[in-house]
Structure 1
Amino acid sequence: MSIGEQIAWDDTVLPFQLDNSDIRGRVARLDGALEKVLEKHAYPPLVEALVAEATLLTAIIGQTIKLRWKLSLQVRGDGPVRLIATDYYAPDEEGAPARIRAYASFDPDRLEQGAQAFSQIGKGYFAILIDQGPDMTPYQGITPLAGQSLSACAETYFAQSEQLPTRFALSFGRATLPGQSQAWRAGGVMLQHMPGNSDAPTRDAAEQAENWNRANMLLDTVEELELIGPHVGPPELLARLFHEEAPRVYDPQAVHFGCSCSEDKVRSTLSIYSAKDIATMTTPEGTVTADCQFCGAHYVMDPATLGFEGKDG
């Protein structure tokens, strides 16, 4: 595979279908988008790993759902890692990239160095929130944290909330390509058993179960380096894993890092406060400041223009 072919599959999600098995799926590759998510913060390695896994899951799940606006993944726990939050924004127009962002809130003094990353979340819940925009009722599905990874939680979520058998195989970490500095790479495959395929004859329950088990066994043979690339492209990976299942690929979706924060949104948030409230937020330098937890953007504003009594309120 040439360098050009490697780059072509970076930061993409490739939808596919296994025509012989009534199974759909996604192959995702993230590199630059994930690097930009993580470079905004100086997370400890344990937290970096959790944010990387959550970002990869969000890219795969977000592309699965026909979104008009945004899908969010939230993980909350009572352990040292209190919150992991990600957002996937659907493309603004045909052919445009989707946008993704993520961050984590954690207590550095409570982190157990050398522990399994997932254990640092503790007890809590895994949630998917879908916001289709104005005049649409948001959807929220929640399931308790279970298993030994965020991907296991996602599998439980789909089994319980959507009644769809779902499987993930993920790989992520820092890698060094020839001639390049060390950077984050991530890749994964999602399989999802569908009720039926209009392009194939109806199969009975026993045959569907057999097909699902076979696809899972084939996915178990995937190697981590095949998932993250860059030397095996997603179409080649599907051919290696599922050749006899008749894989059919669709148009890939590009995924870029992108944040939706802006000064106007900060001002809108602060418009619910009075001038007295704004005064308590004012720094000794006479300004009100705000930082975006996702991208690190820093906003500095004149308190006289804020709140519902401000000039712009």
Structure 2
Amino acid sequence: MAADIASAGVAALDDRVVPFTVPDLDIRGRVVRLGSSIDTILGRHNYPEPVARVLGEAAALTVLLGTALKFEGRFQLQTKSDGPISMMVVDFNAPDTYRAVAHIDQAKFDDAMASGALSTGELLGEGHLAMTVDQGSQASRYQGVVALTRQGLEEAAHQYFRQSEQIPSRIRLSVGSIVTGEGRQWRAGGLLVQFMPHSIDRLRAADLHPGDAPQGHEIMANTDPDGISDDAWAEARSLVETVEDHELLDPLLESERLLYRLFHERGARVFEPVLVQEACRCSRERVLGMLRGFSSEDRKAMVADDGTLGVTCEFCSRRYVFEASEVEDGLAAE
């Protein structure tokens, strides 16, 4: 998506997550719009456009899920696969910061560009997607894993909710760019809707097929991918499927306005937005601690001719340089 827009007022609508509920349909959800934060991340690494698009989707998905945390903790999305994008990591630190990085297999990416195999599923290939919730201790760490079989991130997220959370959910993700007076800028957006009825009976999957029926008797198949037969969920799911990419990316369309378009007949209630920002967790102290965790032989191999050890953060590209004596003296003190 590309459009000429005025930049005034756009920032106020970006980099925020709007939680909402629609009581008449027993659903809750969130809408995310990422502007300058995702543009900073993608621009910093100068990823090829197809890779930037997939990492933007992963960032929008991570922020949607991470902002649901009710505690000071960390939510991480990570993929590892055999495709041109061999790995992605998106970290969300509650309540409001995230960072992201992608690793590219250049030979496979060149082949994909030549053949035009550039969908999210084709770029990821086969492998796994892991979503990890970490409250700060090993005992409070939870991880759900989904197989990647050349499907997109939306479908992978649906699989995650079906098998790990067992909550009927629908997710829409979109990534694109706009043209402003300051040049081209990346944007990402996402919508998450979950079916949360008060009665647990409404979450039960339909009965198994009864087998051969008497001649002339028609059995109505349940076509809901979640196996849920509920009119409210069917309506909510259908409405989500009408959302178009440009509606998630339009910098002049408020999230609240989008929700009104979708649910005005039912009445959506919105809550205080969560403002998010791009920020890295790296620091000189963290990197120094990492270096001291290597063996003596490995540290010696890292020392440059000038007697320093240099480390570049793969997330934010910040460069840290240490004197070899600084690393070793700290070990001696310990």
State whether TM-score is above 0.5: yes
Aligned to 1:123: 126
On the 8 A contact 1:49/1:117 being kept in 2, the answer is: no
Return structure 1 stretches of 4+ with deviation > 6 angstroms: 202-208
Aligned to 2:62: 58
Aligned to 2:301: 280
Show the 5 A alignment for 1:1-313.
6-91=10-95, 98-111=96-109, 112-113=112-113, 114-118=116-120, 119-134=122-137, 136-146=139-149, 148-177=151-180, 179-196=181-198, 209-307=230-328, 310-311=331-332
**What's the RMSD between the two structures over aligned residues?**
2.5
**Identity of paired residues, percent?**
36
* Greater mean deviation of Cα atoms: 77-86 or 168-177: 168-177
Alpha-carbon distance between aligned partners in 2 of 1:203 and 1:143, rounded to the nearest angstrom: 25
User: How many residue pairs end up in the alignment?
Assistant: 303
Alpha-carbon distance between aligned partners in 2 of 1:26 and 1:229, rounded to the nearest angstrom: 17
Q: Secondary structure at the match of 2:258?
A: helix
Q: How far apart are residue 270 of structure 1 and its match?
A: 1.7
Deviation string 1:31-80 (CA, Å, 9 cap, x unpaired) is 10101111220211221111111011111111123242210000110122
Q: How far apart are residue 185 of structure 1 and its match?
A: 1.1
Q: Secondary structure at the match of 1:40?
A: helix
Q: Secondary structure at the match of 2:194?
A: strand
Q: 1:23 to 1:308 in 2, by over 3 A?
A: farther
Q: 1:204 to 1:57 in 2, by over 3 A?
A: closer
On the 8 A contact 2:13/2:252 being kept in 1, the answer is: no
Instruction: Tell me the TM-score normalised to structure 2 length.
Output: 0.84
Alpha-carbon distance between aligned partners in 1 of 2:9 and 2:231, rounded to the nearest angstrom: 35
Alpha-carbon distance between aligned partners in 2 of 1:132 and 1:99, rounded to the nearest angstrom: 15
On the 8 A contact 1:158/1:165 being kept in 2, the answer is: yes
On the 8 A contact 1:275/1:306 being kept in 2, the answer is: no
Q: 1:183 to 1:140 in 2, by over 3 A?
A: same
On the 8 A contact 1:270/1:307 being kept in 2, the answer is: no
Q: How far apart are residue 147 of structure 1 and its match?
A: 6.0
Q: Secondary structure at the match of 1:16?
A: strand
On the 8 A contact 2:69/2:94 being kept in 1, the answer is: no
Q: How far apart are residue 223 of structure 1 and its match?
A: 2.4
Instruction: Tell me the TM-score normalised to structure 1 length.
Output: 0.89
Alpha-carbon distance between aligned partners in 1 of 2:330 and 2:184, rounded to the nearest angstrom: 50
Q: Secondary structure at the match of 1:245?
A: coil
Q: How far apart are residue 85 of structure 1 and its match?
A: 0.3
Q: Secondary structure at the match of 1:20?
A: helix
Q: How far apart are residue 245 of structure 1 and its match?
A: 2.2
On the 8 A contact 2:73/2:135 being kept in 1, the answer is: yes
Alpha-carbon distance between aligned partners in 1 of 2:129 and 2:202, rounded to the nearest angstrom: 33
Q: 1:159 to 1:146 in 2, by over 3 A?
A: farther
Q: Which runs of 5+ in 1 are unaligned?
A: 92-97
